[in-house]
Amino acid sequence: EVQLLESGGGLVQPGESLRLSCAASGFSFSDHAMTWVRQAPGKGLEWVSTISNLGRTTLYGDSVRGRFTISRDTSKNTLFLQMTSLTAEDTAVYYCAKCGENCGGLDFWGQGTVVTVSS
C-alpha cells in the first residue's frame, strides 16, 4: 500500500525558514518523480514544485522559485521542501504527491501538513 506522510509544518514568523519532509513507502521511490502542492485556506490547489525520480531535474512555480528548494533522499525514501523567506502568502496546507507515469497525473497524495506564517 502506497503511503505518503508529510511532517515539519508549524507556525513561523515572516522571513523565517521551514523544512517539510514526506516519508514514502509502498512503492519504488527512486522510480517516480514527486511533487509538492499547496492549498491556502479556502482557496484552490497550487502546484509548487516537482523533482525527477533521481533528483536531477527540479521544477518550480513562479511564486516560490528562488525561495523554495525541493530535494529527495532515495536512501531514506524521503522527499523534502526547504522553504525560506516565508510570507503570509505561503500559509497553506502542503501536500506531497507521487507522480504517475510521465507525471501525467498525481496518483497518490499524503494528508498534508499545515504551514502558518504569522507574526
Partner 1 sequence: QSALTQPPSVSGSPGQSVTISCTGTSSDIGTYNRVSWYQQPPGAAPKLMIYGVSNRPSGVPDRFSGSKSGNTASLTISGLQAEDEADYYCHSYTSSNTYVFGTGTKVIV
CB of 115 to partner 1, least distance (A): 16
CB of 108 to partner 1, least distance (A): 8
* Distance between start and end Cα atoms, the chain: 40
CA 28 to chain centre: 18
**C-beta separation of 114 from 20 below 8 A:** no
Which residues would be at the binding site for partner 1 (CB under 8 A)? 35, 37, 44-47, 50, 59-62, 95, 97, 100, 102-112
Cell of 41: 485556506
Sort strands 10-12 and 113-117 into parallel, antiparallel or unpaired.
parallel
Cβ proximity to partner 1, 83 vs 110, nearer residue: 110
Cβ proximity to partner 1, 27 vs 109, nearer residue: 109
Cβ proximity to partner 1, 29 vs 95, nearer residue: 95
